[in-house]
Structure 1
Amino acid sequence: MTHVMAKGANISLTAAAVRAVLRWSAAPGSPDVDASALLVGADGKVRSDADFVFYNQPRHPSGVVRHLPKQRTPDGGLVSDAVEVDLAKLPPEVDRVVVAGSAEGGSFPAVTDLRVLLHDVGAAEGAEAIAEFTVTDTGDVSALVAAELYRRGGVWKFRAVGQGYASGLVGLATDFGITVEDEAATAPERSEPAAEAQAEPAPAAPARPDPREEPGTYTLAPAVPMPTTPPPPPPTAPPVPAQPQAQPGYGYPQAPQAPQPTYGYPQPQPTGYGYPQAPQPQGYGYPPQQQYPTGYGYPQQPAQPPVAPPPPARPPQQPQPEQTPFALPPQGPQFQPR
């Protein structure tokens, strides 16, 4: 049997879980209605914003309160929005659950045949509601507390409230401790400083020191493109140091001296500016040829294989003058021919 309740009446509940339904007639031009629930403590405030269950937050973190999708009758004449509450699983610090409603696009006087129905979730499908309350005399408001589930002496009860809020859902949520930002109210406040800034430019702020120049910081030099490195020159043989000549000591055989040319033999050619230069021998034991600078921008000299020194040239043989037989001059008159 359904308990038809008047505003302010209450009944005790034996159901472990209930479903509170807001139902109204879908008349042309009638605003839409959204149901919500707030888990409130003994101080009349929610513990956190998570205790506000509605269409944008349809499930409480504990899972004991849930917002259900809207339902329509097959003919589309009635619309309902509901929340389910597991009364047996609510924590002890939750003193009551407020069932609220908000009108979208209008106020509640424009909502036709608005009522609250309370069902036992464990009852069979199609069973009658536990209680029914018709919401009337709400005033020109867009939000209201339709009913509430509260605990007394360890027993859960249901009360019909029907209290409207002229400040809308924002005022209702704020009264129960929910932090709500009203974008419509704060938008003009954000736009006014912008308009003043366009009318009169703000003075330039003093220049702050460059953090890159502060002590304790380091600045990386800008990247410099690396030039194309030419191929390295071929390795050159290091100069061979001259071998020191051992000087013979006293009592050791001396090295033979080269014979000096005499008259009639070819003489050494003078050297110096204006005279032809004799070719310099090359090879091991001889001083190295002049080294040309090598590196980027200088012509590269091909490596020359070592050349053995030519054998020393022998002096050409000069023709010997014809020798005449030796004869003594006359020695006295006794040797003169007669």
Structure 2
Amino acid sequence: MLNQTELSPSTLILNGIPGLEDMHIWISFPFFSMYVMAMAGNCGLLYLIHHEDSLHRPMYYFLAMLSATDLVICSSTIPKALCIFWFHLKEIGLDECLTQMFFIHTFTGMESGVLMLMALDRYVAICYPLRYSNILTNPVILRSGLATFLRGVLLVIPCTFLTKRLPYCRGNIIPHTYCDHMSVAKLSCGDIRVNTIYGLLVALLIGGFDILCITVSYTMILRAVVSLSSADARQKAFGTCTAHICAIVFSYSPAFFSFFSHRFGHHTIPPSCHIIVANIYLLLPPTMNPIVYGVKTKQIRDCVVRIFSGVKDIKSYSM
């Protein structure tokens, strides 16, 4: 008879990247560099948006939501991964593991939702420029952000409880750097079909719905831009969407690869490749989004230049 401890272990082991244990120390350097860049870049964006009056507009409020979401995603995963790589601190409590899983899936869903809201923002700005400020008021932005967050919470909570109820009698070693839903569920010797089906359902309800809205928004944007008579006007309209399109590519490309390889390519794709891409899926968007928006958005560039010019003036005056 299996005792209660065997059915529900109090401690799990995150084993890092399987097959590449000897290279953990080298893999940690790009992880750490990207994490520092992500934290500095997103904190810098939040500071700019909060303190610069010229950035108190709907587009930048949505960008602030994206930056805050990226900060939570990074902080939920990378510190633990670095502890595994550097100090071999692989143990994690079951409740702590489920909490990490909840934050990861909730805020990746939140990130997808914010990208969808930003696509709708660009649609309103280009197709209804005269009504832009009347449609996207501060209460509307607040309610839409809250609804996106609650959508993730309400859909991921059942997933967490479905995972907690499973009997775990196939050991307690997870071949991963963080607690992913299916990686934890596969430790169970019970029936995980409900977990698998519900996970796919959540992915469709969040990812599928958001991608559909983004596709429809950009289809309408493309139709509106093509109808403009001036080439300069078309270029300017497309220019306002460039940063957002880059953010979508950085977010969804590794997400699609990770999702499909985890479910359909586990016999052909090495586990180490899947784990690395799963980490890139969580780390690449937070790292690249501040860079893309800083380079592609004139208002943010102007604010950064003005701040650095002020710092230089202060230094020269003090000298």
Q: Tell me if both proteins adopt one fold, taking TM over 0.5 as the criterion.
A: no
Which has more strand, going by share of residues?
A: 1
**TM bin (shorter chain):** under 0.3
| Structure (1 or 2) with the larger CA radius of gyration | 1
TM score, norm. by length of structure 2: 0.19
Relative to total residues, which structure has the larger helix share, 1 or 2? 2
